[in-house]
Structure 1
């Protein structure tokens, strides 16, 4: 496989929750990340394209198209790409088992790492009781999350003007609100239990936009890839079988949201 100049070569790359087709997607940061890393195998762990948002209104800037083209270019250069749809791109579940231009579509995968350990890879919405049994509530929650992102964008414009670093309102709420903490814990437990049932040593998932790696469930590794809306995170497997959670915004120290358009909007409202 041809490698991009100066790119870090890894065995496997796991990405989820890009939410292409939404204004919250950090496509420019993602493009820089994809230029910086090459992988033998790439897993797209769901919610890559946000079908929910695209149904309500089309939004697809050039940067989002560039992300798709970049991934396809990696496939043409020899990378294996496995797409595991999530709830926001569930329309692709109609094509499970199909190979679309070199992209393998599957409901889940069992990934064998370089050290022989096996990982159950899945988006995770299948284990979210709200998504499974109260879709209307999930849609309501998605709207509330979008509202939080909108407020957060303006808040961080002010923080940048004060010389402060980026701060995530929704991430703070997830860790401070008791029900949210319990929800995350329960979600992790269900995924770890399913990994055990599958005979795997760990689980790699997305869905809840909470990037983390730990071994708190009887030796079962829990890995969540996070998202590219707020945290800009990904997981890579190195050639020795070790896993690394990459927080791209912290690595590059680039602001997660470009202030230009938001500051212009503030200026227009103030005028």
Structure 2
């Protein structure tokens, strides 16, 4: 018998299944703690680009268990909406169709319990808005692969020592001025689309930089990824949103909670500092 849902909606993106970097075990841990009525898979669930490059492209045991868990959710009444990203763009051919109770869409407008209309998309549609020299893109891609490989070794070493998950690459990104500027440009592109669509906010992924807050009067959320940050967005039954980690620990609470005063978390203080630096640059 399926266990009763304890959350209204869960948003996850950038799982990159099919690669050794995917933290499927940690996402499975979160999904055992958070049982949603509705699940949004916000792109790059499978990394078809990386799988095509590899001689053997298979999902490891944890990844297979995660896929079975998602299929079981869909089969037992959870509404599962799959929005393909740039790494699994081949599935965009099936937008508008339903497979094994999973709806495939190009994007969606999610209405929270408290009535906020939030545009949900992967975010790669904004790539054309960022202009950079070819050499910079090549160097950046090489640095990204190096960071992820080093991160993989760090994660494996900490796991063998019984230490909790910690991402070296995510920590390095938080200290990078280029990453901060890139995240700010992405956010501005998302907010521009929000204005055009006439909705109340945006939820996306793609850039592997989690963020949650109120920007220019709109809700803006990047729910992160499951390669480095291992974060997701949860909507509670009253419409309150939370950015959480793999243990369901709240990293950032809703900028507009239903009622009551609360103290800022350390993560929110850090995000506020980032926002201030981006505004002043």
TM-score under structure 1 normalisation? Answer: 0.81
Relative distance call for 1:242 and 1:250 in structure 2 (3 A) is closer
2:229 alignment counterpart: 231
* Higher alpha-carbon deviation: 27-36 or 108-117: 27-36
| Structure 1 position 64 matched with structure 2 position 63 | yes
1:183 alignment counterpart: 182
* Distance of 1:154 and 1:78 partners within structure 2: 38
Correspondent of 2:21 among 15, 19, 24: 24
Q: Cα offset for 1:233?
A: 1.0
Tell me, what secondary structure is at the counterpart of 1:23?
coil
Q: Which runs of 5+ in 1 are unaligned?
A: 253-271
Relative distance call for 1:157 and 1:95 in structure 2 (3 A) is closer
1:115 alignment counterpart: 114
Cα pair 2:21 2:152 within 8 Å, conserved: no
Cα pair 1:130 1:137 within 8 Å, conserved: no
Q: Cα offset for 1:185?
A: 0.3
* Distance of 1:99 and 1:112 partners within structure 2: 21
Q: How many residues align?
A: 248
Q: RMSD between aligned alpha carbons?
A: 2.9
* Distance of 2:77 and 2:156 partners within structure 1: 41
* Distance of 1:185 and 1:224 partners within structure 2: 11
Relative distance call for 1:131 and 1:142 in structure 2 (3 A) is farther
TM-score under structure 2 normalisation? Answer: 0.79
Q: Which runs of 5+ in 2 are unaligned?
A: 251-281
Tell me, what secondary structure is at the counterpart of 1:70?
helix
Deviations 1:31-78 (A, max 9, x none): 122222211111000000000111011131122111111001011110
Runs of 4+ in 1 over 6 A off after TM superposition: 130-140, 157-165
Deviations 1:224-266 (A, max 9, x none): 11111122111111111110111125849xxxxxxxxxxxxxx
Tell me, what secondary structure is at the counterpart of 1:81?
strand
1:76 alignment counterpart: 75
Tell me, what secondary structure is at the counterpart of 1:21?
coil
| Structure 1 position 45 matched with structure 2 position 38 | no
Tell me, what secondary structure is at the counterpart of 1:183?
helix
Cα pair 2:29 2:246 within 8 Å, conserved: no
* Distance of 2:133 and 2:105 partners within structure 1: 24
